[in-house]
């Protein structure tokens, strides 16, 4: 007894754990990518293998592909208590087993929601009321799926708040702070990922599919998801894949939110296709759009002291042309912020376009000026933003112009080091090596540095030997 179905390996990519330059992979299959999806769905029930639950498991994996079954309380409890605190777990448990386990695992940080799925819900209403993480008690499959789908949107919105970056424009004559340097390297990364001019080959889904097949271990459901992706992905309409909450969209959203360089390189085909579709449908006139966003008090305080400075959400921003109702969706430390965006396209801006009659999508990495932030009487906030372009941000504009002129992709390495992200600088360098033939001058520059220095000081030596100085 114990785990009936192990973690869906569709959500893992294997690799050596080394973060030093001494083990630069020769194959994309050797690169480590953590969980591709944000959430893990765990189901504890000694009857989950019944035929009547098989279709439910398939349906649930449409919303969260990372799925684990347990049929034994002890094994489940041990596994849950061993999880790192940064994981996000949604737990489904039967009423009978829930009575025995919820009290011991309810306060574990990785567990963010619990669902009691049982034959007779009324038998479990009273005891479940004392546990704040229990989101639902139901016997109906449709209700369970609907609640998990709703909660996924809610929790994704919370995760989005972690990707908000607030910064000031810094002229090149002044000392740059870490926050601004972090903005610059990310903007340059988006620039090279959505362009076909920096790398010798055009990206395709082939490499990503190869990795998914390699990591699926012939798991039936994983293979079915991969097959569906291969058959349905439309290069001409990738935005539909993005807004339909597909596994691919969830992989990309997490990678953007966490600025996971390895995953973003593997998903470059998807980013480039979305970018090209937005460019093809770019709005030429100004537009006013809205978005409802959960934020922490710290987010709000940071915005309050940065009026007339700049706001960036690492991800794609989906907005509506209809103003939403001013009602709160936040709980505890999260507050509801109604964002109003005044957008007008200028040369050099990242694109934005209609994706249906009511919605407008902004390219990931779009930058906005903070106009005002006001608190409403119903404990919600109204944040006014104005879309801005690179030309308003002096140093950023300089670096983009220089990158386009010199094609010096190692500029990003130095910026990553300046923002105290040397590990990402190493990962980025590994990805560059994969993109070019062995005799390319860029590969020679990287390998020449590697051969002369100890791995522990690889990044600092690389910076000192860069041919093109960043400043």
Please tell me which residue, 319 or 36, carries the higher pLDDT value: 319
Which of the listed residues 159, 194, 218 is the one where a domain comes to its end? 159
Q: Examine residue 29 and state whether it is found in any structural domain, yes or no.
A: no
Least Cα distance to 156 among 223, 250, 65 occurs for: 250
Q: Examine residue 135 and state whether it is found in any structural domain, yes or no.
A: yes
Please tell me which residue, 445 or 95, carries the higher pLDDT value: 95
Q: Examine residue 326 and state whether it is found in any structural domain, yes or no.
A: yes
One-letter-per-residue 3-state SS of 310-363: EEEECCCEEEECCCCCCCCCCCCCEEEEEEEEEECCCCCCCCEEECCCCEEEEC
Q: Indicate the number of domains in the chain.
A: 3
- Whether 206 and 350 map to the same domain: the answer is no
Which of the listed residues 392, 426, 449 is the one where a domain comes to its end? 392
User: With 80 as the cut, is the pLDDT of residue 196 above it?
Assistant: yes
- Whether 225 and 184 map to the same domain: the answer is yes
pLDDT digits (tens, 9 = 90+) for 121-151: 999 999 999 999 999 999 999 999 999 999 9
- Whether 300 and 237 map to the same domain: the answer is no
Please tell me which residue, 311 or 7, carries the higher pLDDT value: 311
- Whether 299 and 339 map to the same domain: the answer is yes
What is the residue range of 383's domain? 281-392
- Whether 56 and 149 map to the same domain: the answer is yes
- Whether 66 and 201 map to the same domain: the answer is no
* 49 three-state secondary structure: coil
Q: Examine residue 167 and state whether it is found in any structural domain, yes or no.
A: no
- Whether 272 and 418 map to the same domain: the answer is yes
- Taking residues 304-320, report their average pLDDT: 96
Q: Where are the beta strands (DSSP E) in 344-421?
A: 352-354, 359-362, 367-375, 381-388
- Whether 357 and 336 map to the same domain: the answer is yes
**Cβ proximity of 359 and 305 under 8 Å:** no
Q: Examine residue 469 and state whether it is found in any structural domain, yes or no.
A: no
Q: Which of 45-54, 186-195, 198-207 has the lowest mean pLDDT?
A: 45-54
In this prediction, residue 29 carries a pLDDT of 42
- Taking residues 305-311, report their average pLDDT: 96
Which of the listed residues 392, 407, 425 is the one where a domain comes to its end? 392
**Distance separating alpha carbons of residues 44 and 52, to the nearest angstrom:** 16
- Whether 361 and 440 map to the same domain: the answer is no
Please tell me which residue, 94 or 22, carries the higher pLDDT value: 94
- Whether 68 and 131 map to the same domain: the answer is yes
Prediction pTM value: 0.86
- Whether 70 and 98 map to the same domain: the answer is yes
- Whether 88 and 214 map to the same domain: the answer is no
């Amino acid at each position: 007894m114990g785990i009936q179905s192990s973690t869906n390996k569709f959500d893992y990519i294997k690799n050596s754990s080394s973060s030093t330059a001494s083990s630069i992979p020769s194959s994309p299959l050797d690169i480590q990518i953590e969980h591709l999806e944000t959430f893990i769905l765990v189901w504890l029930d000694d009857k989950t293998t019944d035929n009547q639950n098989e279709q439910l498991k398939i349906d649930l994996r449409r919303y969260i592909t990372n799925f684990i079954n347990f049929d034994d309380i002890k094994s489940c409890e041990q596994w849950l208590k061993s999880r790192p605190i940064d994981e996000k777990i949604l737990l489904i448990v039967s009423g009978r087993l829930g009575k025995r386990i919820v009290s011991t695992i309810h306060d574990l940080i990785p567990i963010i929601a619990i669902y009691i799925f049982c034959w007779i819900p009324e038998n479990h209403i009273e005891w479940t009321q004392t546990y704040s993480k229990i989101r639902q008690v139901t016997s109906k499959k449709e209700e369970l799926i609907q609640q998990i789908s709703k909660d996924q949107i809610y929790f994704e919105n919370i995760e989005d708040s972690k990707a908000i970056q607030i910064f000031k424009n810094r002229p090149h004559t002044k000392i740059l702070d870490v926050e601004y340097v972090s903005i610059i390297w990310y903007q340059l990364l988006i620039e090279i990922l959505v362009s076909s001019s920096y790398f010798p080959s055009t990206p395709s889904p082939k490499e990503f599919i190869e990795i998914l097949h390699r990591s699926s271990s012939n798991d039936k459901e994983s293979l079915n998801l991969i097959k569906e992706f291969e058959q349905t992905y439309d290069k001409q309409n990738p935005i539909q894949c993005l807004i339909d909450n597909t596994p691919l969209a969830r992989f990309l959203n997490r990678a953007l939110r966490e600025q996971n360089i390895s995953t973003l390189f593997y998903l470059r085909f998807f980013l480039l296709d979305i970018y090209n579709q937005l460019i093809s449908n770019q709005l030429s006139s100004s537009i006013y759009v809205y978005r409802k966003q959960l934020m922490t008090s710290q987010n709000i305080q940071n915005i309050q002291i940065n009026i007339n400075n700049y706001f960036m959400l690492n991800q794609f921003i989906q907005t509506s042309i209809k103003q939403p109702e001013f009602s709160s969706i936040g709980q505890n430390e999260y507050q509801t912020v109604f964002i109003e965006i005044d957008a007008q396209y200028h040369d050099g801006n990242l694109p934005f376009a209609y994706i249906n009659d009511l919605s407008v999508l902004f390219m990931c990495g779009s930058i906005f000026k903070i106009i005002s932030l006001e608190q409403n009487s119903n404990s919600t906030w109204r944040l006014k933003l104005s879309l801005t372009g690179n030309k308003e941000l002096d140093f950023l504009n300089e670096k983009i112009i220089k990158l386009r002129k010199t094609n010096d992709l190692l500029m990003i390495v130095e910026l990553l080091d300046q923002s105290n992200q040397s590990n990402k600088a190493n990962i980025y360098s590994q990805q560059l090596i994969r993109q070019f033939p062995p005799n390319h001058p860029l590969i020679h520059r990287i390998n020449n540095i590697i051969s002369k220095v100890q791995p522990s000081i690889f990044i600092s030596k690389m910076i000192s030997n860069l041919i093109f100085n960043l400043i």
